[in-house]
Chains A and B, each alone.
Chain A
Amino acid sequence: MKTNAINSKLSLSDIHKMAAERSNIMKKWLWGFIIATLILGVLVACSPYAGLDIGIPFKVGPVYVNPSIGVGGYL
């Protein structure tokens, strides 16, 4: 590396700067990739009622028999 730097007339500080620049670019590229993945994931998972919590009106066990059930179907 040192020999190459001397041959190309680049100083070690230039090389360090370039390395730092490359590191920054790669970091930004990585963040971009993470954000893009996150957006894609959120978009495809969007549901109109995602946060809706109605409660649990139906439970297993109790007797549901009511003679009025089913009358409406014959109106």
Chain B
Amino acid sequence: MTSESFSKSNVPFRPVWPVSAFARLIKRFYRIPLFLVAAVVITGCTAILPKVPPLGSEGTSLPGKVVWHDLVTPDMDKAKNFYAGLFDWSFEELSDGYALARHNGRLVAGVAKLDRSGRSSNWLPLVSVPDMDRLLTEATVAGGKIILKPFDLPSRGRVAVLRDPQGAAFGVVQSSHGDPADRKADVNEWLWNEVWTDDVPSAVTFYQTVGGYRLAEKTVGDIQYRFLERDGQPRVGLLDKPSPHIGNTWVAYIRVADVDATVNKAKALGGNVLMAPTVTVRNGTVAVIADPNGAGFVVQEWNK
């Protein structure tokens, strides 16, 4: 071996091609990944979100309607196991941070991961709005508070989260492909929505102002039930919260075939029964349940 051949074939420590090429790329473009990391950290992921299916397909907007429900939870696996067992929902993971729930193939909800285990789990209703910017301005003037600034969910539209003046949190969405049409609720799917609050008159004023609703009432026995309707369709009920020990909140109802069986199943799956079926409330056809992470909802037999 000549000294020349030695110096060419044994150049010490020169990396093989893929490593050296990658190193050159990093050397030249290292600012790009650093910028991406910084952007994601600063925006809290809102710039890079999973692509979700559109809410509607016909482009029809139904302002004031609750068009979607997202469960925000610190433990997605525990939540998915609970709802799969209780309502026979199946889940499709779009990322580690978001999954879609289906019932009989139909999309029913989303499950979104919270970034810290200490954060509380809640069902978040998304109300359709025709003009996000206008709504946010009106809501702020009316005493509401924006707790999650508007962000774009690919294929779905613009989404934001607010609190009403009494503190109840709800989401709003300006759909990019329209809203799902009204239809009769199937078993194990969403039936109704309410706001439980310690100041119903103020809540009525707020939602009428920002949502364009009309206040309506229905007498059922001794009960004067107040609800908000828009374009002739009942959209959300408002009632005094049943206990001073809970916060003001939106509450979602799910239709079930057998409330007693649902309650027993929920307990077996790690849920808590907050109100067991009782004859004094709709003759034992309603129960309030919290999932294993604490998110509350109502189940109701409904045979209309």
A: residues with CB less than 8 A from B are: 4, 7-10, 15, 18-19, 21-22, 25-26, 28-29, 31-32, 35-36, 38-39, 42-75
Contact A72 B194 (CB under 8 A): yes
Across the A-B interface, how many residue pairs have beta carbons closer than 8 Å?
240
B: residues with CB less than 8 A from A are: 3, 6-7, 10-15, 19-20, 22-23, 25-27, 30, 33-34, 36-37, 40-41, 44-46, 48-50, 70, 72, 95-98, 112-115, 119-120, 122, 124, 147-148, 151, 153, 159, 161, 167-169, 191-194, 196, 218, 220, 222-223, 225, 227, 234, 237, 239-249, 253, 255, 272, 274-275, 278, 280-282, 285-286, 288, 290, 294-296, 298, 300, 302, 304
Contact B72 A54 (CB under 8 A): yes
Contact B246 A59 (CB under 8 A): yes
With a cutoff of 8 Å between Cβ atoms, the chain A residues found around residue B26 in the complex are: 28-29, 31-32
Q: Please give 14 more A-B residue pairs, beta carbons under 8 A apart, in addition to A25-B23, A43-B40.
A: A8-B7, A9-B7, A19-B12, A25-B19, A31-B30, A42-B40, A50-B97, A50-B113, A58-B249, A67-B222, A69-B281, A70-B298, A71-B220, A72-B194
Jot down 28 A-B pairs with beta carbons below 8 A, ordered by A: A4-B6, A18-B13, A19-B12, A35-B34, A42-B37, A46-B45, A46-B97, A47-B95, A47-B112, A47-B114, A48-B159, A49-B114, A50-B97, A52-B114, A55-B169, A57-B248, A58-B246, A62-B245, A66-B240, A66-B242, A68-B237, A69-B194, A69-B281, A70-B253, A71-B218, A72-B194, A74-B220, A75-B227
Chain A minimum-CB-distance residue to B298: A69
Contact B48 A43 (CB under 8 A): yes
Distance (whole angstroms) from the CB of A18 to the closest CB of chain B? 5
Contact A29 B218 (CB under 8 A): no
Quick one: given A47-B115, A49-B124, are A63 and B275 in contact (CB under 8 Å)? yes
Closest 3 CB pairs of A and B: A47-B97, A58-B296, A57-B249
Contact B191 A73 (CB under 8 A): yes
Contact B3 A7 (CB under 8 A): yes
Contact B234 A64 (CB under 8 A): no
Distance (whole angstroms) from the CB of A33 to the closest CB of chain B? 9
- Distance between Cα atoms of A17 and B161 in the complex (Å): 58
Q: Looking at chain A's contact residues, is the secondary structure mostly helix, strand, loop, or mixed?
A: loop
- Distance between Cα atoms of A31 and B25 in the complex (Å): 12
Contact A52 B119 (CB under 8 A): yes
Contact B294 A56 (CB under 8 A): yes
Contact B223 A71 (CB under 8 A): yes
Contact B22 A32 (CB under 8 A): yes
Distance (whole angstroms) from the CB of B87 to the closest CB of chain A? 16
B44, B161, B168: most-surrounded residue (chain A CB, <10 A):
B44
- Distance between Cα atoms of A10 and B25 in the complex (Å): 29
Contact of A72 among B167, B253, B272, B274 (CB under 8 A): B253
